[in-house]
Structure 1
Amino acid sequence: MGLFDEIKKKLSHEFIDIVEWLDDSQDTIVHRFERYQNEIKNGAKLVVREGQQAVFVNEGQLADVFGPGTYELTTKNLPILTTLKGWKYGFNSPFKAEVYFVNTRLFTDEKWGTKNPVMLSDDRFGLTEIRAFGTYSFRISDPGNFVINVVGTDSNFTNYEVNEHLKSLIVTRFTDTVGEANLPLELYAANTSELSETCQEVMHPEFERIGIDLEKFYIENVSMPEELKKEIFEYSRLDKLDMGKLAQFKAAKAMEAAAKNEGGTAGAGMGMGMGFVLAQQMGGLVSPAPVAATGAAAQQAAPPPIPQLAYFYALEGKQQGPVSFERLGELFAARSINRDTLIWKQGMAAWTALSEVDELKSFLGGNTPPPLPGA
């Protein structure tokens, strides 16, 4: 390129007197107006369209900001830049400054989600993990602040770039919020609307600090591992059940399993005997009270119920009781005691773990009970 061409190019750029940005994209948030050596002619026309603001920056320092409209760039309407440059009244030479056009429209349906599970502590289930995702919408509320603190010298700052920054901020604040909410685990998925509003209130100052207005924030789904979900469902059902009846039901299932495992005639006979005992323990819930037998039939009638023994148990180092067999089953079903709880009754030489007491093994499920008296 010859010297004449170089001078011609310089002059053609230097004396362009219209500064504007026609946005032909869907994702550009900030666009830097490009011209030769950053020179703008004094008296040039600045055109700012609806949904835009123009930010003037001088050597990394925020100067003047213009909203929608058409302006003549002079010392009169560039007061901050005039002060920074030290211009005198009537200045009429080209000047250098960076001009950034900021898109101030509402950006909607932006996606967010937790890349890694969020750890929560629950009183009933211990440490658990949840994941969440949703959408949010935002707009640039303070273009000057946003350009200086986020954009920097990027000539074409896109929606993707700001979203990467915002998603990290969202996940951090979401984790803090759900941790401090201290809700029962099953309520997180059932209260997404209330949780969304709380998260938005918490995040709004953080967005505002960098010149962004968080218009909407939605949590669309809160998920957890399948095994934990099943455990929560089971717990919710147990919470509605009569613990005494539940203990009797579990004992019945254990007896049925034991009878099937024995097999043959002996197993069937044992199953029948245990069935009669269970019917009497459940107070007629399984079948109606039998009609009194007479004659030869009386000899084959069911044996009388097993005497209700009195049991003592240890809880937090203290002796509790005495309680009946049924009450002990209720305590086990309600998790007040467990398989390692120490048990004593009359005739036992020493305190013994519940899982080692023969007639109490039915609480554990799937164990064969001891033979009936006289068998």
Structure 2
Amino acid sequence: MGLFSKKVSGLMDVIRCDEPSYLIWKWHPNGTKSGNNYRENAIRWGSSLRVKDGEVAVFVYKQKDGTEQDFIEGPFDQILETANLPVLASLIGLVYDKGTPFQAEVYFINLAQNIQIRFGVPFFDVYDSRFKDFGVPVAVRGSINFRIDDYRGFIKLHRLSNFSLEDFQKQIRDVVSRYVKDCVAHASAVHNIPLVQIESKVAEINDIIEYNLKERLSEDFGVIVSGIDINAIEFDKSSDGYRQLMSVTQDVTSATIKAETAAKVKDIADRQRIEVEHYGESLRIQREEAQYAQHKQTQTSNMGAFQVEKQAEVGIAGAEALGKMGTNGAGNIKFSGEGEGVNMAAMMASMAVGGAVGKNIADSMNSMMLGMNQSVQSSMTPPPVPEAEYYVAVKGQATGPFDICSLKKMRDSGQFTSESLVWKAGMTEWAKADTVDEMKSVFLEMPPIPN
């Protein structure tokens, strides 16, 4: 039979948490105040317990050998018995009187709700990575959201009996403030940007802080960070450090702009100079190529004259060789006592050169004469007399045109008869072949009939 199975008298308690927003909340019986009497932890037999979904109720009992705890997760709505609160079975000394309450501390832990803490980091000096002589006061505002996931681990890190949400939030703010200061102080160097542009990296700074805080708050505070938001990073624009930094930054920016402008102007001038040089060189090459092409075209157009010119050069070279034959000793005849006599090698060489020259000149003259004869003949020969051509109707289709000679062959093969319809340019309509004057000769010259 259960510990609370018997009927009891007196006013029973309903143990529940009606706080709209909380993280840790301690229950007290009706009519009692925290820390003023023994009855603040007294629970009557037959009291009921109501735990909403997303909550856990923690019963803490003080024993001679220490402290015992029972955890009841929601949803739960029952009268307390040893079956649902096993630690009661060890409290036998309390059942001597049916109406005597037992002592236990009851805490409700919120597992479903995210707790949001707003934080503000007061102005602290931050240095630009380029100008480390000027400290600029910077302030940061934001919020952090967290919740309890492992309530057993959370209880190991915190004493529920003296837990204060205000103190807990202050501890978290202090940790957040340290991480925010460290991240913002190094943002200019980490992201390689001027300090005055640090607000452009709020998202990256936010992610770094959140990543670092998740591990720290989980290990040291037993809470899970669900998000952190940096709302603003502000500069104390009235400070000397800010004014000095802006002055130096403007000077550097102006000098940088001038240097970049000068570099761009020089680059444009260099490119224009190179383009002009290339343009002049291109014109020279184009001019030489055009002259060379024109020269070749002139040579091609006057190939005959060019060949005669080259052959004449060869002839002149041969003539000069013949003229020097005497100086080479080719024609000298030396008598006894004066030398070797006739220089046969020189004479043969001179004859060979002379022969080549003569052949060159002869070929050139022949070519010139042949060309002239062909030109005269072509100009004196009349063009051929055009022959009449006729179209022949074959099965309703026009075929041809055919000249008279072809029509005679077609006549011999039976493909063309006097009844065939013919037409040529100048005729108004198709006509039978034997009615056309030019066709009559075709049928008069009929081949003999074979025996």
TM-score, structure 2 normalization: 0.43
In 2, Cα distance between the equivalents of 1:106 and 1:235? 52
Higher helix share: 2
- Aligned-residue offset at 1:174: 1.6
In 2, Cα distance between the equivalents of 1:106 and 1:221? 26
Structure 1 residues 317-356: aligned runs within 5 Å = none
Native 8 Å contact 2:24 2:110 kept in 1: yes
Structure 1 residues 219-298: aligned runs within 5 Å = 219-226=230-237, 227=243, 230-231=246-247, 234=250, 237-238=253-254, 240-243=256-259
In the alignment, does 2:212 pair up with 1:212?
no
Structure 1 residues 132-171: aligned runs within 5 Å = 132-147=140-155, 149-150=157-158, 152-154=160-162, 157-158=164-165, 160-171=166-177
Q: In structure 2, the residue corresponding to 1:114 is in which secondary structure?
A: strand
Q: Determine the structure 2 residue equivalent to 1:319.
A: none
Native 8 Å contact 1:118 1:175 kept in 2: no
**One-letter code of the match for 1:99?**
V
In 2, Cα distance between the equivalents of 1:66 and 1:236? 66
Q: Determine the structure 2 residue equivalent to 1:317.
A: none
**One-letter code of the match for 1:52?**
E
Q: In structure 2, the residue corresponding to 1:215 is in which secondary structure?
A: strand
Q: Determine the structure 2 residue equivalent to 1:64.
A: 70
- Aligned-residue offset at 1:245: 6.5
**One-letter code of the match for 1:199?**
I
In 2, Cα distance between the equivalents of 1:44 and 1:131? 53
Native 8 Å contact 1:118 1:131 kept in 2: no
Q: Determine the structure 2 residue equivalent to 1:5.
A: none
Q: In structure 2, the residue corresponding to 1:134 is in which secondary structure?
A: strand
Q: Determine the structure 1 residue equivalent to 2:18.
A: 22
Native 8 Å contact 2:146 2:224 kept in 1: yes
Q: Deviations over 1:287-314 (max 9, x none)?
A: xxxxxxxxxxxxxxxxxxxxxxxxxxxx
- Aligned-residue offset at 1:239: 6.9
In 2, Cα distance between the equivalents of 1:135 and 1:102? 22
Q: Deviations over 1:226-246 (max 9, x none)?
A: 225624752673475133868
Q: Which structure's CA Rg is the greater one?
A: 2
Q: How many residues align?
A: 229
- Aligned-residue offset at 1:132: 0.9
Structure 1, gaps ≥5 residues long: 1-10, 247-282, 284-375
Higher strand share: 1
In 2, Cα distance between the equivalents of 1:118 and 1:104? 39
In the alignment, does 2:49 pair up with 1:46?
yes
- Aligned-residue offset at 1:76: 3.4
Q: Deviations over 1:115-136 (max 9, x none)?
A: 3415456342335242211122
In 1, Cα distance between the equivalents of 2:199 and 2:70? 47
Q: Deviations over 1:37-72 (max 9, x none)?
A: 523245542111134321222348462222222244
Q: Deviations over 1:255-297 (max 9, x none)?
A: xxxxxxxxxxxxxxxxxxxxxxxxxxxx9xxxxxxxxxxxxxx
Native 8 Å contact 1:138 1:215 kept in 2: yes
Structure 2, gaps ≥5 residues long: 1-8, 30-38, 238-242, 263-268, 270-451
RMSD: 3.8
- Aligned-residue offset at 1:207: 1.9
Q: Determine the structure 1 residue equivalent to 2:298.
A: none
Q: Determine the structure 2 residue equivalent to 1:178.
A: 184
